[in-house]
């Protein structure tokens, strides 16, 4: 099992969700986040005064997928979130040891 | 003649003395004496020369109350309909001199009616004396004008406030007790002044209180008559304006008033126990009145502990046009509208139509004033909604009362969601958290924030239908525009905001706002910054009213960034977008042109101006500009000036040359004009169009018939080089160069990336006379051409954006640095433009 953590542009969330749904991934967590990657934001000017916008608003999508569809899921995220410009985001892939359903306490089978 | 007056006066005094000695020197006798004086005054008035303007002789104070004692001052107000000249002074003398000759002490006040336009707050005794004013002789119409100028809530509230302060001061002099062994029957607690004060407070706040109260009206009248009879005796026995009931005079008074008892001491005790009994009635009445009386809060409105109420409920029930004033008064007084007032409105609201609430332009202006975002607006609108008034005033709003629309996000009914948007806006003015301060500053900048509130009120009324609610909302809102008398410009703004109320959240939250093309396209929606600011605030307030979770700091940040990028596009990128022949609006201008203008006149004029131009001006103004630009020659200026509300607007068309902008703004400053807003544009072929909106605080244009001509002549001479603007400004050097200490640290920012053609200089500084002149002069002295200028003033800050070039190109980094340094030095006061 893998945890895919994708940081994408806010306006790309719906497309990423649709792409994941199409390959059969239903459960996901979406969070509003702020941060920066290599681009380190930029300086904006408002009325002659500079203000730093180094932390850019992004969306974080987390999904847990079976190893068998991990590559497909990563591909789906990248294709749907990509614009080709700086600031498109990242996908992190983390191994997942075990998962439990809180309601029943039962351990998920892989 | 004087003889006959003194006979009349002697006779009147004898009559009064007889009454007093019989123990009857009370209300009726004093009124009779005062009537005798009236007769004398009327005879004097009839014999006096009549000045050309109306005159009124008005009895005020005790004389006005018809309580004139033997040795009272005669308080008179002589009122004139216009300025005092020698004819008026003659009339005044003919009335006053004979009264003085009769040995009367006349306390006279002379006023022109216009003086009652402003309250004499430093003269509370005079204001109180006016409460008892009564016309004795002269012009009834003039007297009525005085009455209506004096009797309104503002005056009433002030007089009651001053009166309360005076009562406290007076009580302090008597150690705040009525039980004085030798009381002053005029000034002591429980004496005549207290009685008058009780009546005044009632009359000025709620006359029905005079019929209620802790004491029976008959008991109060009995107390009054007693006090008057005693005071009459004091004047008679003391042979002067004597008001203290001394031990010695107590015996006299007890005898005259016929108190029984074998010994003087017994008679005096009976007199004094009556005195204290009556004085007690008076103090209790006054205390009750002070506690109960509402504070005057408007026509037929008062403020009590439970909020604003109608003084006369029956009158209020049939005057729906006065209802909004109750809610306005509640906002002004930071209190609710009282339950009885709300019940009355709930009971009667259904009988009236929209027009009944706003019958006159004044009422309609009152509505827009009411809608300005301020503390309490949400609470008052909620009260209005709750008692059914909001739906009667705004019929479209009725359609969404209790309306439920199910979606994933909304947590409240449509009507409450709508009112919450207004609460969110209101909170920006009262207690905005730190991360909302930037939005608060936008709200403060708005020229007509009430239009934003009106738009919010109507933005979702179309939701009674299930689809395309913004289109339906616009349709329904349009019905309201005429009924509340919006101008065309105001209608356009409100319609724009309602129609586009979803546009900004869609772009901010769903589109890639880092893409300059998306921002550019979004900016085209607005054309000008004011609407962008309004829509940004509307979006913020709307999103936040969906549920407590919808407006996360993350979303607020996205919204703010889109605002900043769009604002920068509108103010800095617009120079690159030139008008082209296929521009929307261009063809309409040609098709609808007036017969005196040819197609090429219009096309030639528009060519090369920024597209923003078409958004800033309506077709009428554009045709006027085309006419001004026709046949223009070097060194000529063609001018147009008109009044715009409180301000003036000057349009200048001319051909470009060095120092042009600083010369024009310098001329305006030399006439004392304070420039608030404006645009300056230059087309590539050198045609210049400058529009300035300025205020004339010295009222030069208003007070001088030839002012406009003078200004135009000077503009012509300065632009053509016949006169130097520096010479003209010398007279104002004091105010221009010896300036106040800085309030905001000046900001100068040079930008070479936002525009393809121009270097952009952003300047924020204290707004003061001559600022634009000094800035643009420094630019010209640095060899720069000022091509486009946006002038804005927000409160005391001037925000100016200059698009400049040097030798037809953007400035190099070194040139930018040098110019910025010069500007910064000038703004900080170290570098003088000469």
Tokens of B775: 């800035």
For residue B519, what are the β-bridge partners? Answer: none
Which residues of B are less than 8 Å from A87 in CB distance? 514
Average pLDDT (B692-719) is 91
Distance from CA of A88 to the nearest CA of B (A): 10
Domain around B699: 632-827
User: Does residue B393 lie in a domain region?
Assistant: no
pLDDT digits (tens, 9 = 90+) for B71-119: 999 999 999 998 888 999 999 999 999 999 999 999 999 999 988 888 7
Partner residue facing A32 (CB), from B511, B554, B567: B554
pLDDT above 50 (res B833): no
Distance from CA of A47 to the nearest CA of B (A): 6
Residues B10, B53 share a domain? yes
pLDDT above 60 (res B507): yes
pLDDT digits (tens, 9 = 90+) for B626-682: 999 998 998 899 999 999 888 999 999 999 988 999 999 999 999 989 998 899 999
Is residue B320 within 8 A of residue B363, CB to CB? The reply is no
Per the prediction, chain B carries an average pLDDT of 91
Which pLDDT band, with edges at 50, 70 and 90, does B726 fall under?
confident
CB contact under 8 A, A47 and B799: yes
Distance from CA of B521 to the nearest CA of A (A): 17
What is the Cα–Cα distance from B602 to B380, expressed in whole angstroms?
51
Place of tokens 């986040």: A33
Tokens of B647: 């301000």
User: Does residue B70 lie in a domain region?
Assistant: yes
What is the Cα–Cα distance from B153 to B229, expressed in whole angstroms?
35
Residues B593, B464 share a domain? no
Q: State which residue of chain A sits closest to B550, comparing Cα positions.
A: A32
What is the Cα–Cα distance from B614 to B583, expressed in whole angstroms?
9
Is residue B459 within 8 A of residue B538, CB to CB? The reply is yes
Domain boundary among B264, B293, B322: B293
Name the CA radius of gyration of chain A, rounded.
17
pLDDT digits (tens, 9 = 90+) for B329-369: 999 999 999 999 999 999 999 999 989 999 999 999 999 99
Which residues of B are less than 8 Å from A50 in CB distance? 749
What's the pLDDT score for residue B532? 96
CB contact under 8 A, A45 and B764: no
3-class SS letters over B381-402: HHHHHHCCHHHHHCHHHHCCCC
Which residues of A are less than 8 Å from B555 in CB distance? 32
Which residues of A are less than 8 Å from B751 in CB distance? 45
Which pLDDT band, with edges at 50, 70 and 90, does B152 fall under?
confident
Average pLDDT (B568-573) is 89
Residues B699, B615 share a domain? no
Which residues of B are less than 8 Å from A49 in CB distance? 747, 749, 764
B interface mutation test: which of A10, A30, A52, A53 has the most B CBs within 10 A?
A10
Residues B664, B600 share a domain? no
Distance from CA of A97 to the nearest CA of B (A): 32
A–B CB contacts, 8 A cutoff, strictly below = 51
Distance from CA of A22 to the nearest CA of B (A): 21
Which residues of A are less than 8 Å from B764 in CB distance? 47-49
Three-state DSSP state, A106: coil
Pick from B235, B211, B204: which is nearest to B17 by CA?
A: B235
pLDDT above 90 (res B623): yes
User: Does residue B329 lie in a domain region?
Assistant: no
pLDDT digits (tens, 9 = 90+) for B155-205: 888 899 899 999 999 999 999 999 999 999 999 999 999 999 999 999 999
Distance from CA of B570 to the nearest CA of A (A): 12
Distance from CA of A94 to the nearest CA of B (A): 26
Q: State which residue of chain B sits closest to A46, comparing Cα positions.
A: B564
Average pLDDT (B60-67) is 96
What's the pLDDT score for residue B215? 86
Q: State which residue of chain B sits closest to A84, comparing Cα positions.
A: B515
Average pLDDT (B237-265) is 94
Q: State which residue of chain B sits closest to A47, comparing Cα positions.
A: B762
Partner residue facing B764 (CB), from A32, A48, A85: A48
Residues B180, B71 share a domain? no
A interface mutation test: which of B439, B507, B509, B514 has the most A CBs within 10 A?
B514
Partner residue facing A10 (CB), from B509, B763, B764: B509
What is the Cα–Cα distance from B423 to B420, expressed in whole angstroms?
5
Residues B279, B143 share a domain? no
CB contact under 8 A, B554 and A11: no
Which residues of A are less than 8 Å from B567 in CB distance? 46
Partner residue facing A83 (CB), from B512, B558, B561: B512
Partner residue facing A47 (CB), from B510, B558, B762: B762
pLDDT above 90 (res B514): no
pLDDT above 90 (res B389): yes
Q: How many CB atoms are closer than 10 A to CB B376? A: 18
CB contact under 8 A, A32 and B555: yes
Average pLDDT (B700-721) is 91
Partner residue facing B554 (CB), from A44, A57, A83: A57
Average pLDDT (B605-619) is 88
Residues B610, B554 share a domain? no
User: Does residue B24 lie in a domain region?
Assistant: yes
- How many domains does one find in chain B? 5
CB contact under 8 A, B554 and A46: no
The bridge status of strand B74-80 relative to strand B55-59 is antiparallel
Is residue B651 within 8 A of residue B639, CB to CB? The reply is yes
Which residues of A are less than 8 Å from B552 in CB distance? 32
Residues B207, B75 share a domain? no
**Burial class for B46, CB neighbours closer than 10 Å (0-12, 13-18, 19+):** exposed
Q: CATH no. for residue B254?
A: 1.20.120
Residues B144, B185 share a domain? no
Whether ipTM exceeds 0.85: no
CB contact under 8 A, A32 and B552: yes
pLDDT digits (tens, 9 = 90+) for B440-455: 999 998 989 999 999 9
For chain B, percent of residues with pLDDT exceeding 70: 97
Which pLDDT band, with edges at 50, 70 and 90, does B735 fall under?
low
Average pLDDT (A27-40) is 81
CB contact under 8 A, B561 and A44: yes
Structural domains of chain A in order of their starting residue, each with its CATH number:
2-95 (3.30.70.120)
The lowest-confidence range among A88-97, B265-274, B567-576 is: B567-576
CB contact under 8 A, A34 and B554: yes
Which residues of A are less than 8 Å from B763 in CB distance? 48
Partner residue facing B747 (CB), from A11, A34, A48: A48
User: Does residue B521 lie in a domain region?
Assistant: yes
Average pLDDT (B595-604) is 91
Alpha carbon distances (Å) from B76 to B73, B193, B380: 9, 19, 45
Q: State which residue of chain A sits closest to B754, comparing Cα positions.
A: A45
User: Does residue B768 lie in a domain region?
Assistant: yes
Within B151-246, residue ranges assigned H as helices are 153-173, 192-205, 217-238
Domain boundary among B293, B321, B350: B293
Distance from CA of A109 to the nearest CA of B (A): 32
CB contact under 8 A, B567 and A46: yes
Tokens of A69: 């569809």
Which pLDDT band, with edges at 50, 70 and 90, does B414 fall under?
confident
Q: How many Cα atoms sit within 13 Å of B342 on the Cβ side?
A: 19
Distance from CA of B654 to the nearest CA of A (A): 29
Average pLDDT (B773-796) is 91
Which pLDDT band, with edges at 50, 70 and 90, does A39 fall under?
low
Q: State which residue of chain B sits closest to A82, comparing Cα positions.
A: B512
Which residues of B are less than 8 Å from A54 in CB distance? none
Distance from CA of A71 to the nearest CA of B (A): 27
pLDDT digits (tens, 9 = 90+) for A48-86: 777 666 678 889 999 999 999 999 999 999 999 998 888
pLDDT above 70 (res B806): yes
A interface mutation test: which of B441, B529, B554, B790 has the most A CBs within 10 A?
B554
Q: State which residue of chain B sits closest to A88, comparing Cα positions.
A: B512
User: Does residue B178 lie in a domain region?
Assistant: yes
CB contact under 8 A, B747 and A47: yes
What's the pLDDT score for residue B831? 47
Interface of A with B (CB under 8 A): 9-12, 14, 32-34, 44-50, 53, 57, 83, 85, 87
Domain boundary among B259, B274, B293: B293
Distance from CA of A48 to the nearest CA of B (A): 5
What's the pLDDT score for residue B741? 63
For chain B, percent of residues with pLDDT exceeding 90: 67
Residues B591, B530 share a domain? no
User: Does residue B120 lie in a domain region?
Assistant: yes
Which residues of B are less than 8 Å from A10 in CB distance? 509-510, 558
**Nearby residues of B176 by Cβ (< 8 Å), 6 or more positions away:** B189
Residues B250, B121 share a domain? no
Is residue B803 within 8 A of residue B810, CB to CB? The reply is no
What's the pLDDT score for residue B549? 84
Residues B789, B755 share a domain? yes
């Amino acid at each position: 099992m893998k945890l895919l953590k994708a940081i994408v542009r806010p306006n790309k969330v719906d497309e990423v969700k649709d792409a994941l749904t199409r390959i059969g991934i239903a459960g996901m967590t979406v969070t509003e986040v702020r941060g920066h990657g290599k681009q380190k934001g930029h300086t904006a000017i408002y009325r002659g005064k500079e203000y730093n916008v180094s932390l850019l608003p992004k969306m974080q999508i987390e999904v847990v997928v079976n190893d068998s569809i991990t590559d497909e899921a990563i591909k789906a995220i990248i294709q749907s979130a990509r614009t080709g410009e700086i600031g498109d985001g990242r996908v992190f892939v983390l191994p997942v040891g075990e998962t439990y359903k809180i309601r029943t306490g039962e351990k998920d089978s892989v | 003649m004087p003889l006959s007056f003194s006979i009349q006066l002697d006779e009147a005094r004898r009559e009064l003395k007889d009454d007093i000695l019989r123990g009857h020197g009370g209300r009726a006798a004093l009124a009779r004496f005062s009537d005798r004086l009236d007769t004398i005054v009327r005879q004097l008035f009839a014999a006096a020369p009549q000045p050309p303007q109306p005159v009124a002789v008005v009895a005020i104070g005790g004389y006005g109350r018809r309580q004139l004692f033997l040795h009272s001052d005669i308080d008179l107000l002589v009122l004139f309909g216009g300025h005092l000249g020698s004819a008026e002074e003659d009339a005044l003398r003919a009335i006053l001199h004979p009264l003085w000759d009769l040995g009367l002490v006349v306390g006279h006040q002379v006023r022109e009616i216009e003086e009652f336009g402003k309250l004499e707050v430093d003269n509370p005794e005079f204001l109180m004396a006016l409460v008892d004013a009564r016309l004795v002789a002269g012009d009834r119409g003039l007297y009525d004008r005085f009455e209506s100028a004096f009797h309104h809530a503002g005056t009433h509230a002030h007089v009651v406030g001053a009166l309360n302060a005076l009562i406290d001061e007076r009580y302090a002099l008597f150690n705040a007790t009525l039980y004085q062994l030798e009381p002053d029957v005029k000034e002591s607690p429980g004496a005549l002044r207290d009685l008058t004060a009780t009546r005044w407070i009632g009359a000025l706040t709620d006359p029905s209180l005079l019929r209620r109260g802790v004491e029976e009206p008959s008991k109060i009248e009995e107390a009054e008559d007693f006090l008057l009879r005693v005071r009459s005796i004091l004047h008679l026995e003391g042979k002067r304006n004597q008001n203290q009931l001394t031990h010695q005079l107590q015996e006299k008074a007890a005898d005259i008033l016929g108190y029984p008892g074998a010994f003087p001491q017994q008679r005096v005790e009976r007199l004094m126990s009556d005195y204290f009994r009556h004085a007690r009635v008076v103090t209790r009445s006054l205390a009750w009145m002070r506690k109960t009386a509402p504070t005057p809060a408007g026509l037929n409105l008062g403020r009590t502990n439970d909020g604003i109420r109608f003084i006369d409920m029956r009158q209020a029930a049939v005057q729906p046009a006065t209802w909004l004033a109750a809610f306005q008064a509640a906002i002004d007084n930071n209190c609710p509208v009282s339950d009885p007032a709300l019940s009355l409105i709930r009971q009667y609201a259904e009988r009236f139509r929209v027009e009944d609430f706003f019958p006159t332009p004044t009422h309609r202006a009152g509505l827009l004033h009411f809608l300005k975002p301020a503390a309490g607006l949400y609470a008052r609108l909620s009260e209005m909604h709750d008692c059914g008034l909001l739906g009667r005033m705004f019929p479209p709003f009725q359609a969404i009362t209790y309306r439920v629309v199910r979606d994933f996000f909304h947590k409240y009914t449509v009507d409450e969601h709508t009112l919450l948007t207004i609460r969110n806006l209101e909170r920006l003015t009262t207690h905005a958290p730190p991360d909302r301060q930037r939005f608060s500053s936008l709200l403060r900048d708005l020229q007509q924030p009430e239009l934003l509130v009106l738009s919010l009120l109507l933005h979702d009324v179309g939701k009674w239908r299930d689809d395309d609610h913004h289109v339906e909302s616009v349709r329904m809102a349009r019905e309201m525009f005429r009924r509340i008398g919006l101008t065309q410009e105001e209608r356009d703004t409100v319609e724009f905001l309602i129609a586009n109320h979803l546009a900004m959240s869609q772009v901010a939250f769903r589109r890639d706002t880092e893409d300059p093309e998306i921002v550019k396209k979004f900016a085209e929606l607005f054309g000008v910054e004011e609407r962008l600011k309004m829509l940004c605030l509307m979006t913020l307030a709307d999103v936040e009213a969906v549920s407590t979770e919808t407006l996360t700091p993350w979303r607020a940040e996205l919204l703010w960034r889109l605002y900043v990028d769009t604002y920068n596009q509108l103010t800095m990128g617009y120079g690159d977008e030139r008008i082209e022949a296929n521009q929307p609006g261009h063809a309409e201008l040609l098709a609808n042109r007036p017969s005196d203008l040819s197609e090429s006149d219009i096309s030639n004029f528009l060519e090369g101006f920024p597209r923003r131009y078409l958004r800033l001006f309506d077709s009428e103004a554009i045709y006027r500009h085309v006419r001004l630009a026709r046949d223009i020659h070097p060194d000529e200026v063609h001018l147009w000036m008109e009044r715009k509300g409180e301000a003036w607007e000057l349009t200048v068309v001319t051909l470009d040359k060095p120092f042009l902008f600083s010369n024009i703004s310098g001329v305006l400053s030399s006439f004392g004009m304070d420039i608030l807003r404006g645009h300056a544009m230059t087309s590539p072929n050198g045609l210049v169009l400058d529009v300035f909106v300025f205020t004339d605080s010295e009222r030069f244009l208003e007070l001088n018939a030839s002012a406009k001509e003078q200004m135009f002549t000077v503009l012509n001479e300065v632009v053509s080089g016949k006169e130097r603007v520096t010479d003209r400004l010398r007279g104002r050097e004091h105010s221009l160069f010896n300036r106040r200490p800085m309030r905001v640290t000046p900001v100068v920012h040079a930008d070479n990336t936002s525009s393809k053609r121009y270097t952009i200089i952003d300047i924020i500084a204290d707004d003061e006379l001559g600022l634009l002149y000094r800035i643009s002069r420094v630019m010209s002295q640095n060899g720069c051409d000022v091509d486009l200028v946006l002038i804005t003033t927000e409160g005391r800050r001037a925000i100016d954006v200059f698009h400049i070039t040097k030798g037809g190109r953007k400035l190099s980094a070194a040139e930018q640095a040098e110019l910025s340094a010069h500007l910064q030095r000038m703004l900080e006061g170290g570098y003088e433009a000469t």
